[in-house]
Structure 1
Amino acid sequence: MNIKRSIVTRVRVAFLAICLFAFAIIYKVGYIQLKDGDRWREIANEKRFHYQPVYATRGNIYSNDDRIMATSLPFYRVAFDPTISPDDVFAKGIDSLAIQLSRFYGDRSPEYYRQKIKNARSAKRKYVRLNSRLINYQDKKMMSRWPIFRAGKNRGGVIFEKLDRRFLPFGSLAKRTIGFINEDRKGAGLEFSFNRHLAGKDGEALFERMAGGNKPINDGTEVKPMPGFDIQTTIDINLQDVAESALRRALTENDAHHGCVILMEVSTGEIKAIANLGKHGEGVYLEDYNYAVGNQGRTEPGSTFKLASMMALLEETDLQLTDTVDTGVGSERIGGAVKTDTHGYGKITLQQVFEKSSNVGVAKLIQQTFENNPQKYVDYLHKFGLHQPLGFQMNGEAIPYIKSPKDRSWSRPSLSTMSIGYELKISPLQTLAFYNAVANNGVKVQPIIVKSIKRADQVLEKFEAKVLNPKICSDETLKQLKLMMEGVVENGTAKNLRSKDYKVAGKTGTARKVINGQYTRKYSTSFVGYFPADRPKYSCIVIIDNPQRGAQYGGDVAAPVFRELADKAYAQDLAIHAPMARRPAGVQPKLPVLHAGSQEELTVLCNKLGISAHPLSPEEDWVRVDTQKHSVALKPVPVKMGQVPDVKDMTLKDALYLLGNHGLKVRAIGLGRVESQSLPPGQPVAKGTIITITLNRNGATRTPASGTPANAIARVH
């Protein structure tokens, strides 16, 4: 019994404790509601309404001819305040609205949308997001005409929340150059580098926190955002398309790791095309990194660097292109390290050393000239500006690395090794700027890719290429360097670039790649040069990294891409075409061969060709042409009903028309113009009479092509 009493006592105590706790909760709730209610409601309202940014529309990115490369398009998220519409409007339109929503989004039934909206209305919810999918402006206009929505914002309750999304009209073309910027304000390309101009200034508006999202409150306190400025690039869309297509084809054919192409105007430094493609699977190449500018593209250039070595050599010595150097059998220890060539060239001239890209020849010449003072060679490289970045407009430009005798890594072989493009690193853009300086008569300009900041048609800021070095070397050295580069294409390692329309000057490059600190049998191939060689307009560099299918030389792998892009640039730029030979004095142009036909058509033709035509009888419809020295005379061909017309020398079309209108049935033999007709002109004739006309092309009757009857009867109705 004591145990039972103990249990009952404990239950009673527990029940009493629960009751006291419940009364305490009720008391606290009542206290909060009655005593502190106003204070807490005020706090709730403060938390419920808040200001948040309204993002500005980003500016556009344009090509050099004002075609949009990147723009912001408005999209909308559809929300709804179901409490606003009057009962009659809501009841009349809810079923139709649910059907429209179901058909448009295609994810839920009409009943789902109807019940969702009705439940929200019953619960007096002022904000319901109908679907998370974004719609475009045309969809917004269409939805605005739907039941309930058509009553407008104040009576229909529809809320279109505007969101901008970046759109590239040309798809992936120049995608990496255009770049991106994410929510953390990190990114790449022009979008990131010029974000200060493109972003604009965000506004601010009052929003109400509600279940499902934030509802804008248009109370007049909102600050409107200021849209961003536009930027106009130097990119030529047509050349950019060719550059990417040619590069992708070369990468695919050679199963290469990555590649890049840059095309630049020599005098202005404007980049007309820049393509970067990296491998993302078998035969799949995407713009994943800016190899042309960034650190991943900064590599040992190999043989393309020999131009800098030859420039230093010619500046330091009195050597001429006809002077010779003995390259032996193609392998020789120079400066403590063995240098090799693909062939043993023996004794060759300096011109041939460059044309054949002889490692032994270049290394031997540099070693002999600067062995006692290697710093002087490095000083020349600094003078050429190869040791510092270009100050390019896009973020992420690589910093060149030119080894110095003061470096701890300098060794005895460093001088001869650097001379052929190893133990130093430089980006493709920096290599191109150096070659461009030679093409530009020694003036080294800073490459640019953005030429102006605009708002609509108003130019706010204009950019021009800075002169980085007004004269990188003497005129005599420039002359010799140009001859050497032209020789590479005419007689050397890039013979496949020769063109009958224009001359190319440049240098091939093949550099062994370092992996885990060791030189491997993997290569980076390149070609860099300019065209037309006699009056340079464009410079271009092509890099193909790690080709896998046998070809490993720049002339075989990279040069074809250069050629395809150069052909396109040359074809579309008439200003660089060679002028046509003048016509010898006293030689008069020949008038075109005209025969007979409609006076109106022949007069129009003569006017188009700039030929003086003199109608002898302006009222006549049909004429025969009399070709004179500087003009033509149009002699009338009399045409009378009931008589056979004279159709000699007319085309088949004119002859059929004229004879058919006189009621004749025509049998045509041959091709060309009418040579003879079976019925003589002027002879009276009845309708339905058959007339045979013989046609002749180039003075000889020809049989029509197979499948065409030799004799055909035609009549014009």
Structure 2
Amino acid sequence: MKDIISKVGIIYFFMVLSAILVIGRIVHLQFFAKLPVSSEEISFRIEEIEAVRGSILASDGRSLASSVPYYQVRMDCKFPEDTVFNNNIDSLSYYLSNFFGDKSPSGYKSELVAARKKGNRYKAVGNRLVDYAELTEIRNFPMFRLKGNKGGFISEQKSKRNNPYGRLAYRTIGFTNTNGVSVGIEGSFDYYLKGIPGKQTVQRLLGGEWMPVNVEEAVLPQDGFDVRTTLDIDIQEAAENALRNQLSLSDVFEGATAIVMEVETGAIRAITNMKKMANGEFDESFNYAIGQATEPGSTFKLATLVALIEDGFVTLDTPVDAGNGKWQYSTKVFTDVTKGGYGLIDVRKAFEKSSNVAFAKLAVEYYSNNEKKYVDRLHNMKIGEKFGLDIMGEGRSIIHSPGDVSWSKLTLPMMAMGYASLLTPLHTLAFYNAIANRGKMMKPFFVERLEKHGVAEKEFKPQEMSGSICSESTIKAVHEALRGVVEHGTAKSINDPRYKISGKTGTAQIAFDGRYIDSQGYRKHQASFAGFFPSDNPKYTAVVVLYTNKTRANFYGGSWAAPVFKQIADRIYANNPQWSAPVQGKGKVTLTTPHIMSGRAKETSKLMASLPSADKYGKASGEWISFSKDSLERVVAEEYHIDRDSVPGVLNMGLRDALYILENQGYKVKFTGKGRVVAQTPAPGAWAEKNSIINIQLSDNYETK
């Protein structure tokens, strides 16, 4: 009996223990353990589809930065049948080796055979991305060329940011990178440029790669907006070339900038920044134009002149004693460049010759008892006021006021001649532009509109920062003074009989290590010129600033910055023949029927209007005009329609217009020669894949339009 009870007890014990273990397991699984995910969850996931980033465009629509499609070549190594794979693998490997150059044919064969054994259906091929033309070539390699994708060929589209004009305006165009660094327009307008990503399901394959599946169910991305800037490529190229030419004349320069602004609107038509790199070359790596605030030097004397005239203290004819070129005030001796000084002169000549002594004396004489009046006048002129630019990196300008810790008895005369304040080149430009614009200060801006497929979605209009910064009579007087600087003063080397320039030179020493000159006599200089043209009816304002490294030599604005300004102005003048005075000449002129290139109506109409008997060439409406000759050799104008379903015809056009039309239709262009287009391949009206190459031949007998 006891044995039976003992056995029952043992059984009961194990039953209770088992129950406890089961309950414990249930509790553990319910509250503590992480259940393994399903095989479906392991094999599939949702990934983003990158949207096509919008382009950054010049004011005429030419691309400054765009996302160009590139392709990763892949292969479904499992899909081809054995006979197809075995019969073609040697020749395919040879072609791939010859194309990419990274492996031998046997290396490619071993890699693809191994991938086939593993069942790899998404094998990356090659050592780089390829463009569309290269992709087309690879698509015709052995095995890959088989129809119905029987050769396992796969291409995965990606995009790379491309700057068609290289480093032109690069710092202003800017960039974004994966480290979160973003500058320029790329950074400031990233929200609009990047678009909205889509979503797609991808499946994990053997080897750990992920391949898109159920493509028809993917949520497509929304491409980004194109950003049309205010930049004019022709003026931009002129500014960069002029600046580079000048910088090449001396090894002492460490940086420079040039900016061109449209007077009426404040639109920035060119902005170039050059910084000397470690290899001695200059590159667009720092935006001096908007980010470097320094003591402006003598270009600031214009602000002092405006204040003196506006407050009724002087006229251009008011006498001022510049003495022997040296003037002791408090603890400082103010000096002029010209030895012996200018003696008794009028305000006009003091400005033309940029006399430090005269302007320091004038400031002390009229404002020393009320220094705040002078500073208030500067603030009323909006000098140094924050713009709130549409791109990042705006530097902080400083105009000191009486009562500031840094203010002393010397601050007033120092400010009057261009020291003891900090301005960026863009602030100087905006002030000079206000003078050119009859007193109306315009906010500088870099972006005209956001658009998609050429249609404006959001526009940015010119903004007036103030009413007139001074009276019309003061504007008239300082216009006269600025013109005098170029006619008779420190910038007379750039005076031109063809068109009038007005402006002011600037020369300043740059403080470094808390001083202007070191123990060995080395200084840093800043040479500048700010002005506008044509003087009588200003269209453009520009500023040029060059920065030196430490040197014992002198660098003056009239000698170094003004010539850069002149080169830029000459280029703009050449593109605006209406600024020219009529040329008087003698002799006979033989009239022949002119050759006129087809192109933009706005430009060709100007050309036609300048020709004798312009009315006999006929008229045509529309954005584009083409020209041909009739049986009597007469030029006939017709509206030109761009074919958007096939390759547009660009025969008889200048290179600029041909590039604009073809690139905007999604083609790449290669050209040879110069002048007008005389041949193109594929022919007009033919069908060609977008991103394919259009070859055009230019005639060497005509200058490029």
Q: Any conservation in 2 of the 1:384–1:472 contact (CA below 8 Å)?
A: yes
Unaligned runs of 5+ in 2: 1-28, 518-522, 593-610, 615-705
Matched, 1:341 2:332: no
Match of 2:68, SS state, is strand
Q: 2:555 aligns with which of 548, 552, 558?
A: 552
Q: Any conservation in 2 of the 1:304–1:508 contact (CA below 8 Å)?
A: yes
TM-aligned CA deviation for residue 426 of structure 1? 0.7
The 1:591–1:97 alpha-carbon spacing in structure 2 relative to 1, beyond 3 Å, is closer
Matched, 1:321 2:316: yes
Q: Any conservation in 2 of the 1:537–1:576 contact (CA below 8 Å)?
A: no
Q: Any conservation in 2 of the 1:334–1:363 contact (CA below 8 Å)?
A: no
Q: Any conservation in 2 of the 1:335–1:367 contact (CA below 8 Å)?
A: no
Structure 1 CA distance for aligned equivalents of residues 413 and 344 of structure 2 = 19
Q: 2:95 aligns with which of 100, 117, 122?
A: 100
TM-aligned CA deviation for residue 345 of structure 1? 1.2
Structure 1 CA distance for aligned equivalents of residues 591 and 108 of structure 2 = 77
Structure 2 CA distance for aligned equivalents of residues 120 and 393 of structure 1 = 51
Deviation string for 1:568-624 (max 9, x for gaps)? 11110134334668x9xxx9x978599xxxxxxxxxxxxx9879xxxxxxxxxxxxx
Quick one: which amino acid aligns to residue 456 of structure 2?
V
The 1:153–1:177 alpha-carbon spacing in structure 2 relative to 1, beyond 3 Å, is farther
Q: 2:542 aligns with which of 532, 540, 543?
A: 540
Partner of 1:58 in structure 2?
A: 53
Partner of 1:528 in structure 2?
A: 530
Q: 1:137 aligns with which of 126, 132, 136?
A: 132
Pairwise mapping of residues 115-264 of structure 1 onto structure 2 (< 5 A)? 115-151=110-146, 155-210=150-205, 211=207, 213-255=209-251, 256-264=253-261
Quick one: which amino acid aligns to residue 566 of structure 2?
R
Deviation string for 1:158-195 (max 9, x for gaps)? 33121100111112222222111112442111111211
Deviation string for 1:292-330 (max 9, x for gaps)? 011xx2111011111111111111124211111112111
Deviation string for 1:623-664 (max 9, x for gaps)? xxxxxxxxxxxxxxxxxxxxxxxxxxxxxxxxxxxxxxxxxx
Partner of 2:572 in structure 1?
A: 569
Q: Any conservation in 2 of the 1:128–1:212 contact (CA below 8 Å)?
A: no
Identity across the alignment (%) = 40
The 1:570–1:152 alpha-carbon spacing in structure 2 relative to 1, beyond 3 Å, is same
TM-aligned CA deviation for residue 335 of structure 1? 5.1
TM-aligned CA deviation for residue 154 of structure 1? 5.8
TM-aligned CA deviation for residue 146 of structure 1? 2.7
Pairwise mapping of residues 208-607 of structure 1 onto structure 2 (< 5 A)? 208-210=203-205, 211=207, 213-255=209-251, 256-281=253-278, 283-294=280-291, 297-334=292-329, 336-343=331-338, 344-520=341-517, 521-546=523-548, 550-578=553-581
TM-aligned CA deviation for residue 47 of structure 1? 3.4
Structure 2 CA distance for aligned equivalents of residues 435 and 185 of structure 1 = 37
The 1:76–1:40 alpha-carbon spacing in structure 2 relative to 1, beyond 3 Å, is farther
The 1:373–1:216 alpha-carbon spacing in structure 2 relative to 1, beyond 3 Å, is same
Q: Any conservation in 2 of the 1:356–1:492 contact (CA below 8 Å)?
A: yes
Match of 1:293, SS state, is helix
Structure 1 CA distance for aligned equivalents of residues 590 and 245 of structure 2 = 45
Q: Any conservation in 2 of the 1:252–1:283 contact (CA below 8 Å)?
A: no
Q: Any conservation in 2 of the 1:54–1:203 contact (CA below 8 Å)?
A: yes
Structure 2 CA distance for aligned equivalents of residues 144 and 269 of structure 1 = 51
TM-aligned CA deviation for residue 124 of structure 1? 2.1
Match of 1:118, SS state, is helix
Match of 1:89, SS state, is helix
Structure 2 CA distance for aligned equivalents of residues 415 and 215 of structure 1 = 71
Match of 1:558, SS state, is helix
Quick one: which amino acid aligns to residue 274 of structure 1?
I
Quick one: which amino acid aligns to residue 286 of structure 2?
Y
Quick one: which amino acid aligns to residue 78 of structure 1?
V
Match of 2:121, SS state, is coil
The 1:555–1:259 alpha-carbon spacing in structure 2 relative to 1, beyond 3 Å, is same
Structure 2 CA distance for aligned equivalents of residues 576 and 467 of structure 1 = 27
Structure 2 CA distance for aligned equivalents of residues 438 and 546 of structure 1 = 29
Q: Any conservation in 1 of the 2:530–2:542 contact (CA below 8 Å)?
A: yes
Partner of 2:75 in structure 1?
A: 80
Structure 2 CA distance for aligned equivalents of residues 580 and 188 of structure 1 = 48
Q: Any conservation in 2 of the 1:355–1:493 contact (CA below 8 Å)?
A: yes
Quick one: which amino acid aligns to residue 528 of structure 1?
A
Structure 1 CA distance for aligned equivalents of residues 90 and 591 of structure 2 = 77
The 1:70–1:151 alpha-carbon spacing in structure 2 relative to 1, beyond 3 Å, is same
Quick one: which amino acid aligns to residue 394 of structure 2?
E
Structure 2 CA distance for aligned equivalents of residues 545 and 186 of structure 1 = 27
Report the TM-score when normalising by structure 1: 0.74
Structure 2 CA distance for aligned equivalents of residues 451 and 213 of structure 1 = 44
Partner of 2:665 in structure 1?
A: none
Quick one: which amino acid aligns to residue 530 of structure 2?
V
Pairwise mapping of residues 599-678 of structure 1 onto structure 2 (< 5 A)? none
Match of 2:516, SS state, is strand
Matched, 1:69 2:69: no
Runs (4+) of structure 1 exceeding 6 A deviation are 608-611
Match of 2:366, SS state, is helix
Q: Any conservation in 2 of the 1:335–1:415 contact (CA below 8 Å)?
A: no
The 1:114–1:283 alpha-carbon spacing in structure 2 relative to 1, beyond 3 Å, is closer
Deviation string for 1:673-697 (max 9, x for gaps)? xxxxxxxxxxxxxxxxxxxxxxxxx
TM-aligned CA deviation for residue 215 of structure 1? 2.1
Structure 1 CA distance for aligned equivalents of residues 547 and 146 of structure 2 = 62
Match of 2:86, SS state, is helix
Q: Any conservation in 1 of the 2:79–2:152 contact (CA below 8 Å)?
A: yes
TM-aligned CA deviation for residue 527 of structure 1? 0.3
Structure 1 CA distance for aligned equivalents of residues 246 and 201 of structure 2 = 55
Partner of 2:22 in structure 1?
A: none
Q: Any conservation in 2 of the 1:197–1:228 contact (CA below 8 Å)?
A: yes
Deviation string for 1:111-156 (max 9, x for gaps)? 2222212222222233322233111111222222333323467643
The 1:497–1:215 alpha-carbon spacing in structure 2 relative to 1, beyond 3 Å, is same
The 1:230–1:505 alpha-carbon spacing in structure 2 relative to 1, beyond 3 Å, is same
The 1:591–1:379 alpha-carbon spacing in structure 2 relative to 1, beyond 3 Å, is closer
Of 219-228 and 436-445, the range deviating more from structure 2: 219-228
Structure 1 CA distance for aligned equivalents of residues 90 and 442 of structure 2 = 69
The 1:375–1:207 alpha-carbon spacing in structure 2 relative to 1, beyond 3 Å, is same
Q: 1:91 aligns with which of 61, 65, 86?
A: 86
Match of 2:535, SS state, is coil
Quick one: which amino acid aligns to residue 177 of structure 2?
N
TM-aligned CA deviation for residue 361 of structure 1? 0.7
Q: Any conservation in 2 of the 1:254–1:551 contact (CA below 8 Å)?
A: no
Q: Any conservation in 2 of the 1:489–1:495 contact (CA below 8 Å)?
A: yes
Q: Any conservation in 1 of the 2:265–2:463 contact (CA below 8 Å)?
A: no
Partner of 2:11 in structure 1?
A: none
Report the TM-score when normalising by structure 2: 0.75
